[in-house]
């Protein structure tokens, strides 16, 4: 398969680091910016779009994050728990992502990831003093000058195939009945992506990876992951078995079997914003009709 076109990897803005480094330029940009609001859970929306605010509409205590430029327009996130609209106008990224433009997706994914990081890092991990946002909200810094950068946790996600071009999907214990997906796991300290793919597939499904191809990556700000996607071919499909802890059930599918299982209600695929869904659809055939059933089961 070729590199995937992934639903959350659609950012169009220039992050404009030269503005971040200039306090006066950040301040000037704020006063003419288009500003989106994240309340720690959801975004302020209007209809099927993010609602754009101006600096003079912003009230209360919160943090500004410079998200970048597109043409002459600068974009910021305003992060505060205090709402600037009605409860119903706040929607989570999972709820609205399928309706947003590429510009909006880029702003929301960047904004959510960095806002959740700010919220969890009020204290310097080096000296214990309070930290404050700096560089337009791109980092945090304490009064001793220790700098902290937004944390991103890399996780591999892998479509396991056998030599007959069947795919292996697994079900986690915490998922609803019939929900199956591809295998995934966090990259551990000192581990390469490739080593992580081999380890995770063996641990979770018992099979040995023989060949790996990179398929793409997308941010997954729930709260701070970056999903790195691969397909892996295995030679020992007869060894497939769930680990019994994280994965409680596994199933091999060919294309007709996958479609039949969805239609008979014994297979629920992952939601449309996920890398897993994109990998499964790409294997099924990008010129074939979109596979049915992609509702998210998380808020
Ligand atoms: Zn410090």
pLDDT tens for 229-247 read: 999 999 999 999 999 999 9
pLDDT tens digit string along 179-217? 999 999 999 999 999 999 999 999 999 999 999 999 999
Note the pLDDT of residue 292: 83
Mean pLDDT, to the nearest integer, of 138-149? Answer: 98
For residue 233, say if its preceding peptide bond is cis, omega within 30 degrees of 0: no
- Three-point CA angle 82, 31, 149, nearest 5°: 65
128 alpha carbon – ligand 1 mean position (Å): 6
Note the pLDDT of residue 295: 60
Residues with CB under 5 A from ligand 1 (ion): 124, 126-127, 129, 142, 144, 146
Note the pLDDT of residue 253: 97
* pLDDT above 70 for 174: yes
Note the pLDDT of residue 69: 96
97 alpha carbon – ligand 1 mean position (Å): 37
Q: How confident is the model at residue 286 (pLDDT cuts 50, 70, 90)?
A: confident
* Phi-psi map region of 47: left, alpha, beta (phi>0 left; psi -120 to 50 alpha): left
**DSSP string covering 134-195:** EGGGTEEEETT--EE----EEEEEEEEE-TTS-EEEEEETTSPTTB-B-EEEEPPTT--HHH
Mean pLDDT, to the nearest integer, of 155-177? Answer: 96
21 alpha carbon – ligand 1 mean position (Å): 20
pLDDT tens digit string along 42-77? 999 999 999 999 999 998 999 999 999 999 999 999
139 alpha carbon – ligand 1 mean position (Å): 13
Domains of the chain: 17-148 (3.90.79.20), 153-284 (3.90.79.10)
* pLDDT above 60 for 31: yes
pTM score of the predicted model: 0.93
């Amino acid at each position: 398969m070729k590199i995937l076109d992934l639903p959350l990897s659609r950012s169009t803005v220039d992050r404009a680091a030269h503005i971040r480094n200039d306090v006066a330029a950040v301040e000037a940009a704020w006063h003419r910016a288009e500003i989106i609001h994240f309340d720690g859970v959801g975004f302020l929306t209007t209809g099927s779009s993010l609602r754009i605010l101006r600096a003079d509409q912003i009230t209360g205590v919160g943090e500004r994050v410079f998200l970048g430029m597109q043409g002459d327009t600068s974009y910021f996130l305003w992060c505060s728990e205090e709402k600037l609209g009605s409860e119903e106008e706040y929607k989570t990224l999972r709820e609205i992502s399928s309706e947003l433009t590429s510009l909006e997706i880029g702003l929301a994914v960047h904004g959510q990831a960095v806002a959740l990081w700010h919220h969890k890092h009020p204290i310097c991990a080096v000296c214990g003093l309070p930290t404050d946002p700096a560089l337009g909200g791109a980092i945090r810094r304490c009064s001793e000058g220790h700098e902290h950068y937004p944390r991103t946790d890399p996780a591999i996600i892998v479509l396991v195939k056998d030599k007959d071009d069947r795919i292996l999907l697994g079900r986690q214990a915490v998922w609803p009945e019939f929900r199956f997906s591809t295998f995934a796991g966090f990259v551990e300290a000192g581990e390469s992506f490739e080593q992580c793919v081999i380890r995770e597939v063996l641990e979770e499904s018992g099979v040995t990876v023989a060949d790996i191809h990179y398929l793409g990556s997308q941010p997954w700000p729930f709260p701070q992951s970056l999903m790195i996607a691969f397909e892996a071919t295995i030679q020992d499909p007869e060894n497939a078995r769930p680990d019994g802890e994280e994965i409680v059930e596994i199933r091999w599918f060919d294309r007709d079997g996958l479609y039949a299982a969805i239609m008979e209600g014994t297979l629920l695929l992952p939601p449309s914003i996920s890398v897993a869904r994109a990998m499964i659809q790409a294997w099924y055939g990008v010129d074939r009709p979109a596979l049915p059933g992609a509702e998210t089961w998380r808020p």
